[in-house]
Chain A
Amino acid sequence: NAGVTQTPKFRVLKTGQSMTLLCAQDMNHEYMYWYRQDPGMGLRLIHYSVGEGTTAKGEVPDGYNVSRLKKQNFLLGLESAAPSQTSVYFCASSYFFDTSSPLHFGNGTRLTVT
């Protein structure tokens, strides 16, 4: 079982470049999330989606855009990367949207912006 798959695993960008992080889940989960993890910080929610075609802002959405064109995919875009976006990005999904359904995480994408 693949679960939640994130690509790429690593990426180095220069300031101002753009990129898209791809998250794919094969569990037929309705809900998907993008988090970032920084040293000395907990995971912080960037954006989330409650279903195909929907997106919503999380705690730290600035500088990011997302799209959920297909139920199984959730894309995170950086239009103009900044060094402050150097982080490890985790995608997650859940079947339900509440406490009965813990999050399933991918293995992360380590992004460095120079």
Chain B
Amino acid sequence: DQQVKQNSPSLSVQEGRISILNCDYTNSMFDYFLWYKKYPAEGPTFLISISSIKDKNEDGRFTVFLNKSAKHLSLHIVPSQPGDSAVYFCAALPGVGGGSNYKLTFGKGTLLTVNP
């Protein structure tokens, strides 16, 4: 039973346009959400996070939106750059401020390709 779902295995966008990566979750106990970015032959790196007390968190070109009622979050990248081409993993934790990292649940990932 997959608790964190990234239903799009891949996404292709043009440089300069917006990239929108989606993530759905089923566990209502999840309270904290993270996005990790992974380049080939490298480990994932932390990108941005959001807690359930917010509906938006922004960091430069990256914005994460959370819709708790729909159990849905999305990562927006504006403008997209070729260097953003990578696999993006959505991950979720139960318990804001007390959730233990060993409970981190990852989605399968979405491969983003940004074409010049």
Chain A residues proximal to chain B, CB less than 8 Å? 4, 31, 33, 40-45, 48, 56, 58, 90, 92, 94, 97-108
A103 touching B51 in the complex, CB below 8 Å, given contacts A42-B4, A45-B102, A98-B98? no
Q: Bound complex: CA of A104 vs CA of B42, how far in Å?
A: 11
Contact between B99 and A105 (Cβ–Cβ < 8 Å)?
no
Q: Bound complex: CA of A45 vs CA of B96, how far in Å?
A: 20
Contact between A105 and B44 (Cβ–Cβ < 8 Å)?
yes
Known pairs A33-B101, A42-B105, A97-B101 / 5 extra A-B pairs, C-beta < 8 Å: A48-B102, A58-B102, A99-B93, A105-B43, A105-B44
Q: Mark B60-99, 1 if CB is under 8 A from A, else 0.
A: 0000000000000000000000000000010101011111
A90 touching B43 in the complex, CB below 8 Å, given contacts A42-B89, A43-B89? yes
A107 touching B42 in the complex, CB below 8 Å, given contacts A42-B105, A99-B51? yes
A108 touching B108 in the complex, CB below 8 Å, given contacts A98-B97, A101-B101? no
**Most A-side CB within 10 Å, residue of B91, B99, B108:** B108
Chain B residues proximal to chain A, CB less than 8 Å? 4, 32, 34, 36, 41-46, 49, 51, 89, 91, 93, 95-102, 104-109
Considering only CB atoms, which chain B residue lies closest to A102 in the complex?
A: B46
Contact between B44 and A90 (Cβ–Cβ < 8 Å)?
yes
Shortest distance from the beta carbon of B5 to any chain A beta carbon, whole Å: 10
What are the residues of chain A within 8 A of B49 when measuring CB–CB? 99, 102
Give 24 A-B contacts (CB < 8 Å), ordered by A residue: A4-B43, A31-B101, A33-B102, A42-B89, A43-B89, A43-B106, A45-B102, A56-B102, A94-B101, A97-B100, A97-B101, A98-B97, A98-B98, A98-B100, A98-B101, A99-B99, A102-B46, A102-B49, A103-B36, A103-B101, A106-B43, A107-B41, A107-B42, A107-B43
